Structure 1
Amino acid sequence: MSRIHSGPIAVRALEIFDVAARLGSFTAAGAELGITQSAVSRQIADLEARLDVQLFARSGPNLSLTPKGRELAAGVGQGFQQIATSLAKIRTPTEHIVTLSMLPSVAAKWFSPRLGDFVRHHGDIDLRISVGRHLVDFRAEHIDAAIRYGRGDWPFLNATLLAKEEVFPVCTPEYATRNSLCVPKDLAGATLLHTDILDDWSAWFRAAHISVEVPSRLPRMEDDNAVLQAALSGQGVALGRSVLVADDLAAGRLVAPYEMRIPASYDYWFVYPAEKVPTPALQEVKRWVVNSFDKLAGN
């Protein structure tokens, strides 16, 4: 390889090389860094030209580090780790800020009632809640961490299980009495409130081994908070997700007329980018979230 470039090597090029070396794939590196595979390839080619060294051996779709590449990867990885450690030691006030993303229903039914507890125990942390139904782009949206509802198999994320969930009918005590909801088949005469969760009324009725025709033309709400509010207003029976209805059940605002519950397809997870070095503030937020979910489950 002949040298065709000269001059200083950009830190960005070394960052891209570090990610590509760690993941063993230009495509995966591009996905983690938020750039295209071709942009990664160009940066690596430019770095190899500047160093006059081949860093990766390419054989069709396979990619591996050369001996020189492994040597550079070890040094660059150690260097970035030292930089991260140094930055952590000279914490600036901005490191007291943590932006946490979550679903609107989780923000309304789980976080809001626990806001005071967080402030009492962590008043020095500037916690900012970002609410949305989409999978956030952590880097582009400046999100530190998220409470996600899923299977925990997101690539390039550090995921900690917070809670598994169950799904079951809930309504107000008055609605249950007024409609004589004594056994599951009594739901045939009730207004069934619909949302867009995978574990719907048909799944619950199948698990209960009863045949009830589920109306398809009733209003369907995509937000669990909205459907639970309808239930709290005495409009009908909702399929409650155990984490979201726990406080309302404990306070007696809602009741579960039947013992039959089905496991939800998804669970709750605390996630943040795998390459992120969590600040002490983020570690404290994670610890509080985990403890709060444990208390909710009675652990």
Structure 2
Amino acid sequence: MRQIPPLAAVRVFEAAARHENFTSAAQELGMTQAAVSYQIKLLEERLGVALFRREKRRVVLTDAGRGAIPQVTRAFDALDAAFAGIRAEDQALLTIATSNTFANTWLAWRLGGFQLRHPEMAVRLETSDLITDFAAEDVDVAIRAGRGGWEGLAADLLVKVDFTPMCSPDFLARHGGRIEPRDLLRLPLISPHDAWWSVWLREAGVEVADGPPRPGVRLDSQAHEGNAAMAGQGVAMLTPFFWRNDVAEGRLVRLFDQLSTRGFAYWLVYPEHRRGVAKIRRFREWLLAELGRQGFPDTVVAPGLNGAA
């Protein structure tokens, strides 16, 4: 059985011996000078021998310390080499998990820009509407809808989720060129089971009867619902953020000014302890900047707020 002193204290000893200065060691390690002195004292008490000799404004290695430091340095070099390959492999691949809607309507169209900016890094995009488990899955960051407030994950608020009815120009023309909110009770709706319909209609002043949802085409993501609407299959309840290019280019028509929300938003989330990882930091910076360029200056960073994927 190895009788190794506490590695935290050994690490402090290696830095202090290299500098022969507790203040410089503290600066390198992000500690206070008092903390460095304390760790050295613990190590000396554990070994039963002095490692440094204190002289006025400096410290000098004792014979015992000078004899130990070459092997300690080689041991830390070996540890660094052992983990270098793992670090390099980790930095070479960024895995992003997000919903089908966010991927298909926005992120997949722009992710190549991040790849071109960082050609040394491979990017893998995984799409699923399931919750990402960072502890069990090989995922670096996730973009998910929710209200925030999940423990253990840092979160950046990206886009607030609102919704309003949209259809194709052809569908609108086939129904007289004008649709009133109350007309939606009789028109073909895409995913009429979605709770967003009753929320929007009631806020528009339309009385909605309680009971089972109307029959109709039921799709599993807004990405599919928007495409069905563009194909003229009915009116879909959509988030303008995802479809503004289709509206601008005449594939979709936003029927009303009214927007509703249930308090959800899209968040970029990642484990709090990995906040400083270079590839995560680079993707986060790119994503927030890209949203800003797309006309979402209200995108905000919430460094003190936890989120979930």
Normalising by the smaller structure, the TM-score range is 0.5 to 0.7
The amino acid of 2:291's aligned partner reads: F
**Cα shift readout 1:45-95 (whole Å, capped 9, x = no counterpart):** xxxxxxxxxxxxxxxxxxxxxxxxxxxxxxxxxxxxxx99xx79x952531
Q: Distance in 2 between matches of 1:137 and 1:188?
A: 40
For the residue of structure 2 that corresponds to 1:123, the secondary structure is coil
Q: Distance in 1 between matches of 2:269 and 2:146?
A: 11
1:163 deviates by 1.1
Aligned: 1:143 with 2:139: yes
Paired position in structure 2 for 1:252: 250
- 8 Å CA contact 2:192–2:214 kept in 1: the answer is no
Q: Distance in 2 between matches of 1:202 and 1:142?
A: 38
Paired position in structure 2 for 1:220: 218
Aligned: 1:184 with 2:181: yes
Aligned: 1:193 with 2:165: no
Paired position in structure 1 for 2:104: 108
Q: Distance in 1 between matches of 2:159 and 2:245?
A: 15
Match of 2:94 among 88, 95, 98: 98
1:143 deviates by 0.6
Q: Distance in 2 between matches of 1:134 and 1:167?
A: 22
- 8 Å CA contact 2:202–2:208 kept in 1: the answer is no
Q: Distance in 1 between matches of 2:138 and 2:162?
A: 32
Further displaced range: 244-253 or 202-211: 244-253
**Cα shift readout 1:93-151 (whole Å, capped 9, x = no counterpart):** 53131111100111111112213333333333211111111111113211111001001
Instruction: Return the TM-score normalized by structure 1.
Output: 0.65
- 8 Å CA contact 1:164–1:264 kept in 2: the answer is no
The amino acid of 2:263's aligned partner reads: S
* 1:27-42 correspondence runs (5 A): none
* 1:58-77 correspondence runs (5 A): none
For the residue of structure 2 that corresponds to 1:221, the secondary structure is coil
1:292 deviates by 2.3
Residues paired across the two proteins, number = 222
Superposition RMSD in Å: 3.1
1:296 deviates by 3.4
The amino acid of 1:262's aligned partner reads: S
For the residue of structure 2 that corresponds to 1:164, the secondary structure is strand
Match of 2:240 among 222, 227, 242: 242
Aligned: 1:211 with 2:207: yes
**Cα shift readout 1:247-270 (whole Å, capped 9, x = no counterpart):** 322322111011111124310101
Aligned: 1:163 with 2:159: yes
The amino acid of 2:155's aligned partner reads: A
Change (3 A) 1:195 1:115: farther
- 8 Å CA contact 2:163–2:237 kept in 1: the answer is yes
1:242 deviates by 2.5
User: Any stretches of 5+ residues in structure 1 without a counterpart?
Assistant: 12-82
Higher relative contact order, chain-length normalized (CA < 8 Å, sep 6+): 2
Q: Quick one: percent identity of the two aligned structures? A: 29
Change (3 A) 1:10 1:221: farther
For the residue of structure 1 that corresponds to 2:286, the secondary structure is helix
Change (3 A) 1:167 1:277: closer
Match of 2:170 among 174, 178, 181: 174
Change (3 A) 1:94 1:130: same
Match of 1:275 among 256, 270, 273: 273
For the residue of structure 2 that corresponds to 1:218, the secondary structure is coil
Further displaced range: 164-173 or 237-246: 237-246
Q: Distance in 2 between matches of 1:106 and 1:195?
A: 21
Q: Distance in 2 between matches of 1:257 and 1:153?
A: 34
**Cα shift readout 1:33-56 (whole Å, capped 9, x = no counterpart):** xxxxxxxxxxxxxxxxxxxxxxxx
1:275 deviates by 1.7
1:230 deviates by 1.1
Q: Distance in 2 between matches of 1:298 and 1:143?
A: 26
1:10 deviates by 10
| Structure ID, larger Rg | 2
